Structure 1
Amino acid sequence: MFRWLSAALVGFAFVGAQAQVKIDKVDPPNWWASMPKPMLLVYGEGLAQAQFTLSDPALRIERVVPSANGHYAQLWLSTSPTHPETVAITASGASGKAEKSYRFDEKKPDSAGFAGFHSNDVMYLIMTDRFADGDLKNDGEHANADVSSADAKAELAKSRGWHGGDLRGVQQHIDYLQKLGVTTVWTTPVYENHGPMSYHGYGATDMYRVDEHYGSLEDLQILVATLHQHHMKYVLDTVPNHVGPANPWLNDPPAPDWFHGTKADHEEAESDFTALINPHASERERRATLQGWFANALPDLNTTSPAVAQYLRQNAIWWVEKTSADGLRIDTYPYVERSFWHDFHATLREIFPHLTTVGETFSADPVFTSSYAGGVTRVGPDTGLDTPFDFPTYFAVREVFLKGKPMGKLNDVLSYDNLFPHPERLPMFIGNHDTSRFREEAPSEAAMRLAQAYVFTTRGMPQLYSGDEIAMRGKDDPDNRRDFPGGFPASTATAFTAKGRNEEQQRMFAFTSELAHLHTSEPALACGAEQILESDDNTLVYFRDTARAANPDACGTAKGAAKMLVVLHRGAAEKRTVPIDSTWMMGCKLGKPLMGNAASYAKIVGAQQDDMELSLAADEVLLIPCE
């Protein structure tokens, strides 16, 4: 038996040594002069014993780490060139030699993009496959069918199929977004997502290719350039936590420790984040969250591996530089170790000092959510994140306006703002692609209007999910991802024009658009600090003031009011008096309302001018500038 095993091993070694040396591809596909030194992941055959050289001797290879089967080799370079150049990567072995050219390009100037998003922006989330079909030839399961084909129609009929939306479709409706008041567009990931039901983009099969269903890298670059020409911004969605179940790495990883676990032996990701902020929790309690496979199906990348961490940092840099993106939305943020995020952001800041990042921290707990904001070190290293999404406010908004909880619950969430170094950066929203549609659960159109008004007038940056501006309906995933009306040839009506909208769609569009334009044009709403004047079961009264803004620069170039009174009132018409002594409103001279019923008003009254009399119409949103 031992003689047979020995012979088999010798035979295996002989076959491996004789494999023809090939270089099929390199990740990243290119790099840039004067960028941080890269690690090149070479794909091919016969690489296990190959010797690697670069045609430029100044670019020394510090370390080569091949995979045991010879399918990969990590080339850790000592530096990047100081000037753009094309070099030859040569792999030489006993069975031959292979060569591949590799380009170091010139880095773009800061003026090309990379501007970041801020509280004065309005962000709009687009699930690319469900927004608009701009290229009618890349539809169907494999992106090679005409929109009228049986293949495309079969996919369109599936709730989790590829429906045909693409990057050209987004680019073709930029004018619609501008009319709505959007300043920043966030699209779901553009990675290649080969495999069934991967229309959403979160199951990458190649992290350096744009999926054919969405179009090409050139389509993405044109979209971003067009947005910039319209003085708008673009946010890339990136997923360092995991890849898709159809990723070739799953059966042939570049290194033994590329993933946490294997397809046959892994943990399921735990979504109870308690242990992540508990200083007394053991690593065992954190392991399922940090190492488990999301949804028990998406292979979890081992971000503690130096090679994986380097690969993912470079991947983010590559996409930002290639597209001139202004920011990153980062998926499944708490499922990755804080130390990875610390280094990830330090590298990004070095190259793109104005780029901003927002992380998905799906939790109603402000203590947990704030722990991932940049500058917070109470539970571990500073992650460097510009801001998490404001999920605590999202949950409170739904409790208040969908379930009738007291309006004061919104004030309760704001009371935790001192846990965030920059609460003014928090993106506010009433729903996204992972939640049921707000209008589906709203008891009335008025409830949705009030919820939307809060998102656009409280501190932070409003974020819309495509379709919420027209009161789209939909239950949980996948029903919350219906096609945008008018974006597809099969649409019976279009919501891209006022003429094509029904009455409710038009009312909600007009209301949301008004709020969006007010948010970006009025400094008080764009960046003003916030003080609550009164909150109870059905009324919330607050004041915004730029003189107390944490970041006045975020006000942008808006020339409107520096101070603003905001009143949200639910239910029947009523009158009330609100004391304003010892508040920011003292000495305020109220101007003409910017929004509100003609019968509603606010007056400063009392001998000391220390009370405010309010007369409010039913389900009122009242905005009044203050001098």
Structure 2
Amino acid sequence: MTRFTLLLCLLLSANLPAQAATVSRVEPENWWIGMKHRQVELLVHGDGIAALSPRLSHPGVRIVDVQATENPNYLFVTVDIGEDAAPGTFDLELLDGDTVAARHPWRIDAREPAPPRGFDASDAIYLVTPDRFANGDPGNDIVAGLKEAADRANPNGRHGGDIAGLRAHLDYIAGLGFTRLWPTPLLANDQPGYSYHGYAITDLYRIDPRFGSNDDYVALAREARAHGIGLIMDVVLNHIGSEHWWMHDLPSRDWINHGGRFAPNNHRRTTIQDPHAAPGDRAGFTDGWFVESMPDLNQRNPHLARYLIQNTLWWIESAGLAGIREDTFGYADADFLSAWAKAVMDEYPDFAMVGEEWSANPAIVAHWQRGKANASGHVPHMTSMMDFPVHIALRDALLRPKVWEGDWTPLYEALANDFLYPDPDALVVFAENHDSSRLLAHLDGDIHLWKLGMAYVATTRGLPQFYYGSEVLLRGPRERNDGELRADMPGGWAGDAANAFTGEGLSAQQRDAQDFVRRLFNWRKDTPTMHVGKLRHYAPVDGVYVYFRLDGDKAVMIALNRNDEDTALRLDRFADSLGRARAGTDALTGRRVALGDTLLLPAKTPLILELDTAP
């Protein structure tokens, strides 16, 4: 090549347009006009895009900040959405000089009517593991490109339950008396195995295709509302799955704790509140990985913190959610947890959120509830927490020997700790969940004790949570084994020998248990005293625990008899709660019950009496 030819090539190449770049993702994909959170930071990902300059042109929308990290494949672009913005789709352009090197569509929408109210003590929650509830669409059991296919014979594999199965049985859930539905996570979980449970998320903006689509999820929320059921989303802020797309190209070196390398969590949850805790122990709790397949997120990174906050707001607004259940709550950075919950409650003042703090110590759980004045200075904004102290005490009380400080005493004393909570009436009470053995297995199959436990959950303060399938006596192993306790719902798959939804093939014992749950929770739903009535309990005596729910001139008396024989209960001790009532109606049978000097309690049976109003 001559010197002239080389010079000519250089001159021509200088005038060529920049090589086109590709934007692989912009998250979130849209936002709304009129949100309090009006400045939205877009995570933009694509090869080498950090060298480009973003531009957009749409009335009322402008770019107010652009930041890059050490990874050249990311830009964080903050856009401001004014009140005068118009709904529509437009391009986010990335410029190399004056040339558009890449573009990606983005959208702003008009807001739907305000999401439904959150949840409170007037509600009852039905918890499901969607993969094990009902297979409404067998066509998505195997999805090309995803690592794990359905294998119903494998207790730890995917079984094929999906959103279509949930939608098909909303009338069943409502008919049992439940007003809120909490599915464990439905987001993408493209892990090589053990992916059915959903807690190792690989895409925070996408429903797993084996469950359905984002549109299917929105339809589930809409149809649930039509059945009087609000949808609660299970949110995971602490970690992601090891196959999350971030793990193949981290946005920054500090995106994942311990530099993206596995470091096991010490699970020392007391270190957050402990004034004497060593800094290393505290960091070992907040920064350690739950397991190797769940990389631990560093919410101290401001871009990640903003991403997680916006992701939660996006799902609430997209689906019209009625609540959030937040997984492994205390494991995340405490300052971030405060900022995240505040952002949600600022945007949706009538919303509700419940956090999982798996501790028997009520002081540890109370630390996180809104209104708690903490010595550490931490300001919480969670409306509710899962009541693990009562959960643990209830399971203990149902099996404890009848000795001094035996039988019901652990439960009675657990409630005495309610002074620690800013709002104990907002706590979520449960006998079992997806992480515990089922109550029936814990009680070695004793259905009478099981009914006592379920009656307690439905009648104590707070709002109850019930785990799917227990109404037809799904049992599972006594020692925790997740794949087996999260068993398939009978009738959720074509060809099942029994069907919980129709009653076909159920045993007499299963039908009785299902009817018990249906009567109990429908009665609770229709009885305002159980929603707002003050709880007054009496120290357990001789295997009997008595408490009242009192609301003005309305009163409900609950007597739980753990004895193997009928027990005569003297009533003079309860005169201050009984008032002048001389009779009541059994809430579960409708029979009239006279109140004299004594009340005969059937063996191992709950008695729930709606007392007559005194004249």
| TM > 0.5 fold call | yes
Q: Equivalent residues in 2 for 1:565-584 (5 A)?
A: 565-571=557-563, 572-580=565-573, 583-584=576-577
Question: In the alignment, is residue 473 of structure 1 matched against residue 472 of structure 2?
Answer: no
Q: Secondary structure at the match of 1:182?
A: coil
2:585 maps to amino acid: K
Q: Distance in 2 between matches of 1:297 and 1:376?
A: 34
Aligned to 2:555: 563
Q: Secondary structure at the match of 1:415?
A: helix
**1:403 Cα deviation from its structure 2 partner:** 4.5
Aligned to 2:7: none
Aligned to 1:23: 23
Q: Equivalent residues in 2 for 1:432-447 (5 A)?
A: 432-443=433-444, 444-447=446-449
2:605 maps to amino acid: E
**1:29 Cα deviation from its structure 2 partner:** 1.1
**1:78 Cα deviation from its structure 2 partner:** 4.1
**1:307 Cα deviation from its structure 2 partner:** 0.8
Q: Distance in 2 between matches of 1:217 and 1:377?
A: 39
Q: Deviations over 1:104-140 (max 9, x none)?
A: 1011111xx3311111111000111110011110003
Q: Equivalent residues in 2 for 1:439-518 (5 A)?
A: 439-443=440-444, 444-475=446-477, 476=480, 477-518=482-523
- After superposing the two structures, state which structure 1 stretch, 292-301 or 210-219, moved more: 292-301
1:577 maps to amino acid: R
**1:234 Cα deviation from its structure 2 partner:** 0.8
1:419 maps to amino acid: L
Aligned to 2:609: 624
Aligned to 1:413: 414
**1:595 Cα deviation from its structure 2 partner:** 3.2
**1:293 Cα deviation from its structure 2 partner:** 0.7
Q: Is the 8 A contact 1:124 1:186 kept in 2?
A: yes
- After superposing the two structures, state which structure 1 stretch, 209-218 or 376-385, moved more: 376-385
Q: Distance in 1 between matches of 2:282 and 2:167?
A: 42
Q: Distance in 2 between matches of 1:431 and 1:386?
A: 21
Q: Deviations over 1:345-390 (max 9, x none)?
A: 2211222121110111111111111111111131332220011011
Q: Decide which of 38, 41, 55 is 1:39's aligned counterpart.
A: 41
Q: Distance in 2 between matches of 1:623 and 1:124?
A: 22
Aligned to 1:228: 225
Question: In the alignment, is residue 209 of structure 1 matched against residue 206 of structure 2?
Answer: yes
**1:74 Cα deviation from its structure 2 partner:** 0.6
Q: Decide which of 125, 128, 134 is 2:130's aligned counterpart.
A: 128
1:254 maps to amino acid: P
1:289 maps to amino acid: F
Inter-CA distance 604–271: structure 2 relative to 1 (3 Å threshold): farther
- After superposing the two structures, state which structure 1 stretch, 155-164 or 65-74, moved more: 65-74
Q: Decide which of 105, 108, 112 is 1:104's aligned counterpart.
A: 108
Q: Is the 8 A contact 2:584 2:593 kept in 1?
A: no
Question: In the alignment, is residue 338 of structure 1 matched against residue 334 of structure 2?
Answer: yes
Q: Is the 8 A contact 2:54 2:94 kept in 1?
A: yes
Q: Distance in 1 between matches of 2:590 and 2:249?
A: 64
**1:338 Cα deviation from its structure 2 partner:** 2.4
1:620 maps to amino acid: T
Aligned to 1:350: 346
Q: Secondary structure at the match of 2:290?
A: coil
What is the TM-score when the length of structure 1 is the normalising length? 0.88
**1:177 Cα deviation from its structure 2 partner:** 0.9
Q: Secondary structure at the match of 2:234?
A: strand
Question: In the alignment, is residue 198 of structure 1 matched against residue 183 of structure 2?
Answer: no
What is the TM-score when the length of structure 2 is the normalising length? 0.90
Inter-CA distance 462–247: structure 2 relative to 1 (3 Å threshold): same
Q: Distance in 1 between matches of 2:124 and 2:47?
A: 49
Q: Secondary structure at the match of 1:226?
A: helix
Q: Decide which of 565, 569, 579 is 1:586's aligned counterpart.
A: 579
Q: Is the 8 A contact 2:71 2:251 kept in 1?
A: no
2:416 maps to amino acid: S
Q: Secondary structure at the match of 2:91?
A: strand
1:230 maps to amino acid: H
Inter-CA distance 425–69: structure 2 relative to 1 (3 Å threshold): closer
1:566 maps to amino acid: I
Q: Is the 8 A contact 1:331 1:360 kept in 2?
A: yes
Inter-CA distance 406–141: structure 2 relative to 1 (3 Å threshold): farther
What is the Cα-based RMSD across aligned positions, in Å? 2.3
Q: Secondary structure at the match of 1:140?
A: coil
Q: Equivalent residues in 2 for 1:27-426 (5 A)?
A: 27-35=27-35, 36=37, 37-56=39-58, 59-80=61-82, 82-83=84-85, 84-93=87-96, 97-110=101-114, 113-140=115-142, 142=144, 155-195=151-191, 196-263=193-260, 265-378=261-374, 379-404=376-401, 405-426=406-427
**1:322 Cα deviation from its structure 2 partner:** 0.7
Gap regions ≥5 residues in structure 1? 1-17, 146-150, 548-560, 606-612
Q: Decide which of 523, 545, 549 is 1:544's aligned counterpart.
A: 549
- After superposing the two structures, state which structure 1 stretch, 417-426 or 400-409, moved more: 400-409
Q: Is the 8 A contact 1:131 1:484 kept in 2?
A: yes
Q: Secondary structure at the match of 1:575?
A: strand
Q: Distance in 2 between matches of 1:103 and 1:487?
A: 38
**1:187 Cα deviation from its structure 2 partner:** 0.8
Q: Distance in 1 between matches of 2:324 and 2:570?
A: 45
Q: Distance in 2 between matches of 1:469 and 1:536?
A: 30
Aligned to 1:14: none
Q: Secondary structure at the match of 2:34?
A: coil
Q: Is the 8 A contact 1:433 1:480 kept in 2?
A: yes
Gap regions ≥5 residues in structure 2? 1-17
1:531 maps to amino acid: R
Q: Secondary structure at the match of 1:261?
A: helix
- After superposing the two structures, state which structure 1 stretch, 410-419 or 268-277, moved more: 268-277
Q: Deviations over 1:405-446 (max 9, x none)?
A: 511221101101111111111111111111111111214110
1:565 maps to amino acid: M
Q: Distance in 2 between matches of 1:152 and 1:489?
A: 18
In the comparison of the two structures, how many residue pairs are matched?
A: 581
Q: Secondary structure at the match of 1:469?
A: helix
**1:583 Cα deviation from its structure 2 partner:** 3.1
Inter-CA distance 283–61: structure 2 relative to 1 (3 Å threshold): farther
Q: Secondary structure at the match of 1:500?
A: coil
Inter-CA distance 334–152: structure 2 relative to 1 (3 Å threshold): closer
**1:584 Cα deviation from its structure 2 partner:** 3.2
1:177 maps to amino acid: I
Q: Distance in 2 between matches of 1:420 and 1:289?
A: 23
**1:582 Cα deviation from its structure 2 partner:** 7.2
Q: Is the 8 A contact 2:253 2:259 kept in 1?
A: no
Q: Distance in 1 between matches of 2:19 and 2:424?
A: 58
**1:490 Cα deviation from its structure 2 partner:** 4.5
Q: Distance in 2 between matches of 1:141 and 1:335?
A: 33
Inter-CA distance 260–103: structure 2 relative to 1 (3 Å threshold): same
Q: Is the 8 A contact 1:141 1:161 kept in 2?
A: no
Q: Distance in 2 between matches of 1:142 and 1:200?
A: 20
1:198 maps to amino acid: S
1:436 maps to amino acid: S
2:602 maps to amino acid: A
Q: Secondary structure at the match of 2:42?
A: strand
Q: Is the 8 A contact 2:561 2:567 kept in 1?
A: no
Q: Is the 8 A contact 2:224 2:231 kept in 1?
A: yes
Q: Secondary structure at the match of 1:498?
A: coil
Q: Secondary structure at the match of 2:454?
A: helix
Inter-CA distance 234–144: structure 2 relative to 1 (3 Å threshold): same
Q: Is the 8 A contact 1:533 1:583 kept in 2?
A: no
**1:546 Cα deviation from its structure 2 partner:** 2.0
Q: Distance in 1 between matches of 2:21 and 2:398?
A: 64
Q: Is the 8 A contact 2:128 2:182 kept in 1?
A: yes
Inter-CA distance 96–232: structure 2 relative to 1 (3 Å threshold): closer
